[in-house]
């Protein structure tokens, strides 16, 4: 258990939650709720704290809780900490959110049937991560009911110790097992999937579950306070794409390398090195490499302004294995918020 | 000796172990686009009464790099499901019909109109999207009424074949789930893909004639849809699976 993991699990965001004015039926309006929300948790789980405070002022109707920040409905299945990192480029403390119990925007937001929806969103993500890492989801599918309840309970209660004990049964800890302090020897070894034939000279690969929230800007801003506001989810590209890593002796794979590999459309030089999930065909590769001028031009398309993970912006040279082992979420996904600066003519804004 | 299938797109090092590593039932995103075009071509040829599956390219920012292979997904939209009393008598087999003429429903001799003056038409959109996590295709769909109002799932359930509705009620959270469309940022229904690679592997192993270099990849989506389509009541004609025709063309 690393010190960093403890900090991540204890991570919390101070929220100041206001009831939307259209749902206030009493004078004076109720004061906002002050809540310390776990980074690794999910907003709908806060209902047990909010309902008692606001229920006496709500108009008649069925409760379906949802949140918004400056008019943007918040996706409940994204962990609270990730939403904060993405939407508050300059951290706002407390983070002012608006809560609704009526008028669910079902054309934009996935419906949420309380804790069950959140739990199963989590379990399905865990299955997906298991598939990425092991090549199958069997250990998650075969989890006993007791373990499932205990695992979800550990996430609800922020109990890292219980979580580690139950999660170890899923045998997804390959990265932690291989972790080494020495930077020069940090390697990520491919987990041996069941039935995999071990052949001499076979390239060993590891796939790492990553969810990347990409935001592109075309303006230069020195201070985060000057960053443009994300007021529309279409301005964020959600990229659910594993990072595929090849073991190379004597080299380490940095966070910078990982981000560029996930985004070959912005960093095409990386897609020449390997044909992972972001694949290109032979002809195109030939054409591009034969034209140095063209290659130079494509390299200038984007610049990484920042990468934010669990509320911190690691130096891009940091070994990716450290980031994964210490900063991933309980469902075994590394959630990264990435801001790219693209040249003006190509910006999506 | 386990049966093996070659996968296009493998890099040079993987060629060294060619023919040794058993195929795991998955495909790369590049192979997905190859298979998608084969699928839509054959659908157009053998299913002319249905609308075509169209290849939709990714949102515009992916065009920043001209040399990068453009990602996309297959789309079949505005399929209409017309309810009628006759259908209720049958084994809930779906009646899919293209709505090419909106005034068609006003024709006095429309059987559905005569039987049920207040009949409803449910519109369905289907998308086949590649999952980078599972490395398999995934079927997304949504349904709406003629006025554009989205249909809740308990209404969609009535349109599903009987076996699908039963299976859905048994595994609500893991069979058909409500998730955000990867490209459209909107809620869609998704057939969960976590078991796909396993049964795709079985499907191809059972037909030895398909174990030809590169052929599996092109045929992948047709075989996949022959299974998945049935969940939502879309069947494919047997000609689409005919390998002889494919070999000749």
B104: in domain: no
Tell me whether residue A182 is in a domain: no
Query: Residue A11, Cα to own-chain centre: how many angstroms?
Result: 15
How many domains, in total, are found in chain A? 3
Model pLDDT, residue A1: 56
Pair (A23, A97) in one structural domain: yes
Report the alpha-carbon distance of residue A260 to residue A304 in Å, rounded.
9
| A interface test, pick of B64, B135, B149, B200 with most A CB neighbours within 10 Å | B64
Instruction: To the nearest 10°, report the CA torsion of B19, A194, A320, A1.
Output: -170
Tell whether A123 lies on the interface with B, counting CB pairs under 8 A: yes
pLDDT of A200 higher than 70: no
Which chain B residues are Cβ-neighbours of A135 within 8 angstroms? 24
Asked if residue A146 is part of any domain, the answer here is yes
User: Which of the four pLDDT bands, split at 50, 70 and 90, describes residue A196?
Assistant: very low
Closest by CA position to B157, among listed B227, B233, B78: B233
Number of H helices, E strands in chain A: 13, 11
What's the CATH code of the domain at A33? 3.10.20.620
A187 found inside a domain: no
In this structure, are residues A255 and A316 in contact, taking their beta carbons and an 8 Å threshold? yes
- Can you tell me the distance from the alpha carbon of B229 to that of A327, in angstroms, rounded to the nearest whole number? 40
Q: Which domain does B173 fall in, by range?
A: 29-61+68-80+119-236
Q: Report yes or no: A30 and A54 within 8 Å, Cβ to Cβ.
A: yes
Any domain includes A323: yes
On chain B, the residues whose CB falls within 8 A of the CB of A116 are 173
pLDDT in tens, B84-98: 444 443 444 455 654
Q: Is the pLDDT score of B6 beyond 50?
A: no
Residues A178-197: b if buried by 16+ CB within 10 A, e if exposed:
bbeeeeeebbbebbeeeebe
Asked if the structure places residue B7 within a domain, the reply is no
CATH number of the domain that B158 lies in? Answer: 3.30.1460
Average pLDDT, stretch A202-214?
75
- Based on the structure, what is the number of domains in chain B? 1
Interatomic CA distance for residues B16 and A305, integer angstroms: 40
In a domain, A194, yes or no: no
Q: Are residues A126 and A30 in the same domain?
A: no
Domain stop point among A109, A143, A165: A109
Percentage of chain A beyond pLDDT 90 is 31
Flag whether A193 is in a domain. Answer: no
Same domain, A76 and A145: no
For residue A236, what are the domain limits? Answer: 207-270+298-344
Are residues A78 and A33 part of one domain?
A: yes
Tens-digit pLDDT profile for residues A83-127: 999 998 878 879 999 999 989 998 888 889 898 899 989 998 998
* Identity of the residue in B65, B177, B182 whose CB atom sits nearest the CB atom of A298: B65
Q: Do residue A281 and residue B9 have CB atoms under 8 angstroms apart?
A: yes
CB–CB of A346 and B64 under 8 A? yes
**Residue B133 counted as domain residue:** yes
Note whether A142 and A219 are same-domain residues: no
The CA distance from B17 to B72, in Å, is: 31
Q: Is the pLDDT of residue A34 over 60?
A: yes
CATH code of A154's domain: 1.10.246.190
* Confidence (pLDDT) at B207: 53
Do residues A228 and A333 both lie within one domain? yes
Q: Are A99 and A120 in the same domain?
A: no
Q: Which of A124, A199, A265 to mutate to test the interface with B (most CBs of B within 10 A)?
A: A265
- Check: CB of residue A45 under 8 Å from CB of residue A31: no
**Is the confidence at residue A5, as pLDDT, over 90?**
no
Domain boundary among A109, A137, A152: A109
CATH code where residue A259 lies: 3.10.20.90
Between CA A171 and CA B41 the distance in angstroms is: 43
From A173, A195, A215, give the residue that closes a domain: A173
Q: What confidence score (pLDDT) does residue A210 get?
A: 93
Residue A231 has pLDDT above 50, yes or no: yes
B121-131 and B72-82 beta bridge pairing: antiparallel
Flag whether residue B13 sits within 8 Å of chain A, measured between CB atoms: yes
Q: How far apart are CA A315 and CA A199, in angstroms?
A: 37
pLDDT at B216: 75
Q: How far apart are CA A295 and CA A303, in angstroms?
A: 15
- How far from A62 is each of A23, A32, B167, CA to CA, in Å? 12, 21, 29
ipTM: 0.80
Tokens linked to B172 = 């609500």
């Amino acid at each position: 258990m690393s010190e960093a993991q403890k900090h991540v699990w204890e991570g919390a965001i101070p929220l100041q939650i206001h009831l939307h004015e259209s749902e206030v039926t009493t004078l004076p309006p109720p004061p906002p709720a002050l809540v310390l929300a776990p980074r690794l948790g999910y907003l709908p789980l806060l209902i047990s704290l909010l309902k008692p405070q606001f229920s006496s002022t709500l108009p008649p109707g069925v409760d379906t809780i949802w949140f918004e920040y400056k008019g943007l409905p918040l996706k409940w299945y994204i962990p609270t900490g990730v939403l904060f990192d993405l939407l508050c480029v300059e951290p706002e403390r407390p983070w002012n959110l608006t809560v609704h119990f009526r008028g669910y925007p079902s054309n934009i937001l996935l419906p949420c049937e309380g804790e069950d929806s959140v739990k199963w969103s989590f379990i399905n993500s865990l299955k997906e991560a298991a598939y990425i890492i092991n090549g199958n989801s069997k250990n998650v599918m075969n989890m006993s009911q007791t373990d499932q309840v205990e695992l979800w309970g550990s996430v609800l209660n922020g109990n890292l110790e219980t979580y580690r004990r139950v999660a170890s049964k899923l045998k997804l800890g390959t990265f932690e097992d291989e972790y080494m302090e020495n930077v020069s020897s940090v390697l990520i070894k491919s987990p041996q999937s069941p039935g995999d034939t071990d052949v001499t000279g076979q390239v060993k690969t590891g796939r790492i579950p990553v969810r990347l929230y990409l935001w592109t800007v075309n303006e230069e801003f020195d201070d985060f306070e000057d960053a443009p506001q994300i007021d529309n989810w279409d301005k964020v590209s959600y990229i659910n794409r594993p990072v595929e890593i090849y073991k190379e002796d004597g080299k380490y794979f940095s966070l910078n390398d990982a981000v560029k590999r996930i985004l070959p459309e912005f960093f095409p030089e990386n897609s020449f090195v390997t044909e992972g999930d972001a694949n290109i065909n032979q002809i195109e590769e030939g054409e591009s490499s034969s034209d140095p001028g063209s290659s130079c031009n494509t390299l200038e398309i984007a610049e990484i302004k920042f990468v934010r993970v669990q509320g911190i912006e690691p130096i891009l040279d940091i070994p990716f294995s450290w980031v994964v082992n210490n900063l991933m979420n309980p469902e075994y996904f590394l959630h990264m918020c990435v801001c790219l600066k693209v040249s003006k003519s190509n910006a999506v804004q | 000796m386990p049966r093996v299938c070659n996968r296009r797109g493998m890099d040079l090092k993987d060629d060294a172990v060619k023919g040794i590593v058993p195929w795991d039932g998955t495909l790369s995103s590049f192979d997905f686009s190859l298979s998608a075009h084969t699928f839509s071509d054959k659908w157009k040829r053998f299913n002319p009464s249905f609308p075509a599956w169209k290849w939709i390219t990714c949102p515009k920012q992916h065009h920043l790099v001209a040399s990068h292979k453009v990602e996309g997904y297959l789309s079949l939209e505005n399929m209409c499901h017309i309810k009628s009393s006759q259908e209720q008598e049958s084994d809930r087999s779906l009646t899919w019909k293209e709505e090419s003429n909106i005034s068609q429903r006003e024709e006095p001799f429309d059987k559905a109109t005569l039987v049920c003056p207040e009949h409803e038409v449910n519109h369905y959109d289907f998308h086949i999207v590649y999952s980078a996590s599972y490395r398999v295709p995934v079927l997304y769909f949504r349904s709406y009424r003629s006025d554009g109002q989205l249909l809740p799932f308990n209404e969609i359930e009535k349109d599903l074949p009987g076996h699908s509705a039963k299976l859905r009620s048994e595994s609500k959270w893991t069979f058909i789930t409500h998730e955000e469309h990867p490209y459209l940022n909107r809620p869609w229904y998704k057939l969960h893909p976590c078991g796909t690679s396993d049964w795709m592997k079985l499907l191809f192993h059972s037909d030895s004639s398909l174990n030809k270099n590169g052929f599996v990849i092109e045929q992948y989506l047709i075989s996949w849809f022959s299974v998945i389509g049935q969940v939502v009541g879309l069947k494919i004609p047997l000609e689409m699976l005919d390998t002889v025709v494919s070999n000749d063309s």
